[in-house]
Chains A and B, each alone.
Chain A
């Protein structure tokens, strides 16, 4: 088992690793086109609007498998009993199985992350006296969870409820080549960041987010603004992003892809990506100061919004460049 930053990429790495496919976490993240941006003010989590820096849960795994030519099976359930029976069946056949769970009831998870967060992924690889053995890519060491607890974490409620979602690999081709999948992944990400005709997503979404940040203190008051800011920083830095909202992971992927595809341009773009990541880190670092005293912000929200606008410009440039790279 390998520790990783992003739970779903980590689960995918561990699942593929079981079948002797050597792949790194950034590679999975890049091939699965996990890079994303979306600000969704109509969805509330922990009483604050949702800002997401990665694609919907489950997409990284399914896209990676599709692009690599690996076949998989994924199921959701209404009945907890049926889902556990199915899980037992898959484990008995000797395959590890990925599950999406809620963090609120997860016993071995560190306390500070145990909010109602339903998008955690982990791999189940065995069963021993009614306890399931779990490889969680975020928590070091092997974990155990009892049957009852497991039912509870697999069927949490609320936003993005997983409904016992489980996935496992059914067939794996002999020779896996990462070259073509990496290109597919890059193209997909470029499309998602630049060309989706919806204003809350991609580079447009970042700008929209910046405009929203500017308005928070006027519309909601300093306290609520600080709460919203805190939540967006949490999802930017804390919730398994590997730092600066996956920007560093993606940079690492571009770097790896440059060696793989023998394109020097990608190395340069990877460096720019890292700079964009540094700028995001800048935002979260300064923004976090505002959370110290909620009533009196240390930095104005206009100033923070300007940083986000910067990030948007940087990322737009990066992806326009990336789109033009000729892979032929």
Chain B
């Protein structure tokens, strides 16, 4: 992935995502006589509640990770990992780095010693610059 084509690919910004619930999908239903029909429907009665909750859980995890990064308990990789809604095993498959190495990289002391080549691998998947990867505050622009 080169630097030019990065801007036109956008990973969703899970941290600040405001979901609108207008998207309609086809729903089937049955009337009293047992006849079936289908129509486009945006909400079946609980869409907002369940969707909001599942995003709320993601956002909570991001907030937790961010706090821990600020306290220097974990490296920024933990924050970006949560931001991309991944866990260690999925991340490992995406960036091609073994799970135990990622877990090591989550320690701040180890993170500071990682070379640029490996940082670039992370940065490519998170779609940020290496500068932003090192300093999570700058990623907010």
Contact = CB atoms under 8 A, between A and B. Distances in A.
B45 to A, nearest CB: 5
Contacts of A157: 90, 93-94
Nearest to A226: B53
A105 interface: yes
Interface in B18-69: 19, 21, 23, 25-30, 34-36, 38, 40, 44-47, 49-55, 57-58
A288 interface: yes
Contacts of B55: 112
Contact of A114 (B12, B26, B27, B49): B12
Interface stretch (A50-58, A82-90, A176-184, A243-251): A243-251
Contacts of A26: 28, 36
A270 interface: yes
Contacts of A248: 27-30, 36
A-side interface size class? 35 or more
A277 B28 CA distance: 10
Interface string A79-114: 000000000000000000000000011010011101
Nearest to A243: B27
A238 B42 CA distance: 10
Contact of B46 (A112, A148, A274, A284): A284
Contacts of B58: 46
Task: Decide if the interface of chain B is mainly helix, strand, loop or mixed.
Answer: mixed
Given A115-B85, A231-B54, A271 B9 contact: no
Contact of A158 (B29, B53, B90): B90
A110 B123 CA distance: 25
A189 interface: no
26 contacts: A5-B26, A5-B38, A26-B36, A46-B54, A104-B85, A107-B10, A111-B12, A111-B17, A138-B25, A146-B8, A152-B9, A227-B57, A230-B54, A233-B46, A237-B50, A238-B25, A238-B47, A242-B26, A242-B28, A252-B38, A274-B36, A284-B44, A284-B46, A285-B45, A291-B46, A291-B52
Interface residues of B, number: 42
A233 B55 CA distance: 14
Nearest to B36: A252
B135 interface: no
A161 B8 CA distance: 24
Contact of A107 (B1, B9, B23, B54): B9
A47 B60 CA distance: 13
B30 A277 contact: yes
